[in-house]
Structure 1
Amino acid sequence: MLKKYSFPIIIALISTLIFCFSPGLSEHIRPKSPLVQHFVEAKVTRMVSQELSPDPHVPSVITGRQIFFAKILEGAEKGKEVRITNPLSRQHNVYVQAGDHFIMMIRLKKDGQPYYWAFNHKRSPAIYAMLTIFLLLLLSFGKKEGLNSVVSLYFTAALITGVLIPAIFAGWNPVLLTIVLMGLKIVVNYILVCGYNHKSFCAMIGTLLGVIAAGAFSQIFGEMAHLSGIYLDKGEDIVYLTTAHPVQIRWLMFTAIMISALGAVMDVAISISSSYHELSQADPTLTPAQLRKASMNIGRDIMGTMTNTLILAIAGGSLTTMMMVWGFNMPVIQFINTPLVTMAVVHGLAGSIGIVLTIPLTAWACSALFPVKIREKEII
């Protein structure tokens, strides 16, 4: 039993070690904030006054001002009751009532006195509950494969937050770093999900080449359109997070599209590799050329749905931008040349190109790496 789960256990331990040691090892390269502040959970004990009214444009949003007392529930000032003035607007709308829990920001002012602020609603219970439901469903229906999927997600999170982001802030080249880390992620994921065999090895090759193609097209055509990582969400803010090694923000488009397209490209690659494998098992007399052609025919059916999946995901994230375009009745020459729209289009098309190229790349890898004697004997 232990041997059966040895690889997932090893990957889970490596991921845990990354999460444990990365903060300490990367602390010296973390951008330093001039603000002295920390966040704690607090509870509203009693209301002092409220001047509230519905927003005239969004009646469901309450605006105005609240004054209340809150008890700090954790940290050095645990148990302390403080008075808070809470202005409510559309953008900052932490409307609370007596007994509510919220996240309080405590910031030291220039004179050394603390300033207390109702920073946000406590949203973590909803996130943890949803995550628990997701994990239970994954483990209930997937069993061992579900467990391996959880370990794979855990490993991905460790690579991105514990290695990729600190290394980018350390001044490393995002392109080479992303290729290496995503390559490692691809290998581990396929071994966990599919095992170590010709099917997974071909899918690894197709996936890596596909996401590199997506990243390359994103970078090349992004620069042709005079875009760079600075136009990514919060890209300009990253520029001001100064460290001893400036972030190479020019190459962040490559990194962003490789990460965002990876899931869809992996689905396509393993579908092509599995199709090739199953066809070879069903009829061992088929030649590599025939198997390759059949796999690519299957890939054409997959292509339409997967490109739609990627484009629709990007469109969903850009919904409010599209609403603004429609609402202001912008002419094509205006909206197609705005950075946000151009960035979304380049990302969507680059990811779709990566998906399309993954199909022939994986099929060719299968035809080269599935010898006839292996095809006749290998089983899943």
Structure 2
Amino acid sequence: MIRDYGFAVFIALLSTLIFIFSPKWGDDFRPGQTLKQEFVEAKVVEVIANHIQPDARVPSIMTGKQVFTAEILEGNEAGKRVKVDNPLSRQHNVYVHQGDTFIMMIRDTPSGTVYWAYNHKRSTAIYWMCAAFMVLLLSFGKKEGLNSVVSLYFTAALIIGVLIPSIFAGWNPVLVTIVLMGIKIVVNFILVSGYNRKSICAMGGTLLGVVAAGIMAQAFGEMAHLSGIYLDKGEDVIYLAEQPIPIRWLLFVAIMVSALGAVMDVAISIASAYNELQITDPKLSPKQLMIASMNIGRDIMGTMTNTLILAFAGSSLTTIMMVWGFDMPAAQFMNMPVIAVSIVHALAGSVGIVLTIPLTAWLAHYVIKPDPQTVLEHQAS
């Protein structure tokens, strides 16, 4: 039992240690908070006034102003009841009823303490959804499902606990990302497929594919005069760092992280296909195996490139709606930074998927060798 789950347990413990020690390391270069504020749970005791009406354009949203009393449920002021003025707009719409629990922001200002309805309490729904996902994954996947959960946990630890603090620390984001993604790739395939020639081949194909995608994004991004500053919140993070952030290279980082999952899927599919074909018919030459694997890869390529492009299209849906609504000419919308960044991301990730197929098949030719025992069994039959 311990032998079967030993590596997964080790990776889970390592991920936990990263989450524990990363905040202490990050404190050295994380910007200090200029505002004294805290976020706590609070409960609506009584709604004093409701000066609200349905929004003219979005009738399901109530706008106007509420006044209510709330009891603070945690923190230094737990048990205290305060009066809250709650303006409601389309963007900030924390419309509450008596008995609702919400997130309150408590901020100390020169003119006194401000109590504000910051947001609905959404964490409960998110935690229940995560729990449902875990139950389904473990129920149907069993050991492989558990390994998938550990792999996701490790990915979060690397990105949140190492990659992001490293960028704020001013480290070279390209080198850090390649090293971290390489570690992630190795750990993921050992957890999911075990340590064997097939996994080694998929590891190499994945790393080459995501690096190619990152280079493509960076090269064509710079040709289009784009940089990480045009990413969502790209300009805002500049002001968070106490030292200059190498914002120029964040396009490379973003595309490597976003394309990794799809590229891993393609790489293991090609490596598995090569391996299974070799086992099924050991008489096939390496060239024949490569051609057959790439033919399988062509079928995968069509769906996976669509998957990646549709994922970016979904994340940019409202922007696309704005382009359509304003009837923008191509010369206008194709040159908008937000559109250009999305297109570069989608195409660079798709290029990574396309290149992963021949790269993995080529690696399989050198890495995946026929098992002599399998060959003898086939000849005997």
Q: What is aligned with 1:221?
A: 220
Q: Which structure 2 residue ranges, 5 or more long, are not aligned?
A: none
Residues 1:165 and 2:186 aligned together: no
Instruction: Show the counterpart of 1:106.
Output: 106
The equivalences for 1:182-197 within 5 A come to: 182-197=181-196
Correspondence 1:8-87 to 2 at 5 A:
8-87=8-87
Instruction: Report the AA paired with residue 233 of structure 2.
Output: K
Secondary structure in structure 2 of the residue aligned to 1:31: coil
* In structure 1, C-alpha distance between the alignment counterparts of 2:249 and 2:216, rounded to whole Å: 12
1:68 maps to amino acid: F
Conserved 8 A contact 1:280-1:376 = no
Of 255, 264, 282, which aligns to 1:257? 255
1:271 to 269, 272, 277: 269
SS of 2:97's equivalent in the other structure is coil
Q: What's the offset of the Cα at 1:69?
A: 0.5
Report the Cα distance in structure 2 between the residues aligned to 1:158 and 1:130, rounded to whole angstroms: 20
Alignment-derived partner of residue 95 in structure 1: 95
The letter of the residue matching 1:269 is A
Aligned counterparts of 1:378 and 1:189: Cα–Cα separation in 2: 33
- How much does 1:374 deviate? 5.9
Query: What secondary structure does 2:35 align onto?
Result: coil
- Amino acid corresponding to residue 27 of structure 1 in structure 2: D
Q: CA deviation at 1:348?
A: 0.3
Instruction: State the 1:26 CA deviation.
Output: 1.3
SS at match of 1:5: helix
Query: Within 1, Cα distance between the matches of 2:376 and 2:302?
Result: 31
Deviation at 1:372, TM superposition (A): 3.7
Matches within 5 A, 1:1-380: 1-111=1-111, 113-243=112-242, 245-373=243-371, 376=374
Inter-partner Cα distance in structure 1 for 2:106 and 2:78: 12
Could you tell me how far apart the structure 2 residues matched to 1:242 and 1:322 are?
32
Aligned Cα RMSD in Å?
Answer: 1.3
Distance (Å, rounded) in 1 between the aligned partners of 2:241 and 2:288: 56
Partner AA of 1:173 in structure 2: N
Deviations 1:302-336 (A, max 9, x none): 00000000000000001111111111111111111
Q: Between Structure 1 and Structure 2, how many residues are aligned?
A: 377
- Unpaired runs of 5+ residues, structure 1, are none
After TM superposition, give the deviation of residue 274 of structure 1 in Å.
Answer: 0.2
Cα displacement string for residues 118-152 of structure 1 (whole angstroms, at most 9, x for unaligned residues): 00000011101110110000000000000000000
Q: C-alpha offsets along residues 81-115 of structure 1, whole Å, 9 cap, x if unaligned?
A: 0111000000100000110000000111025x321
2:35 is matched by which residue type in structure 1? L
How far off is 1:375 after superposition?
Answer: 8.7
Q: Deviations over 1:201-255 (max 9, x none)?
A: 0000000000000011001100100110000000010111131x32111101100
Please give the alpha-carbon distance, in whole angstroms, between the structure 1 residues aligned to 2:95 and 2:165: 36
1:375 and 1:109 map into 2 onto residues whose CA distance is 76
- Separation in 1 of the partners of 2:361 and 2:36? 56
Quote the Cα distance in structure 1 between the aligned partners of 2:51 and 2:369: 77
How far the C-alpha of 1:31 sits from its partner, in A, is 1.7
Q: Distance in 1 between matches of 2:248 and 2:145?
A: 37
Q: Secondary structure at 1:119's aligned position in 2?
A: strand
The residue identity in structure 2 corresponding to 1:341 is I
Paired AA for residue 202 in structure 2: A
The TM-score with structure 2 as length reference comes to 0.97
Change (3 A) 1:378 1:188: farther
The structural deviation recorded for 1:33 is: 2.6
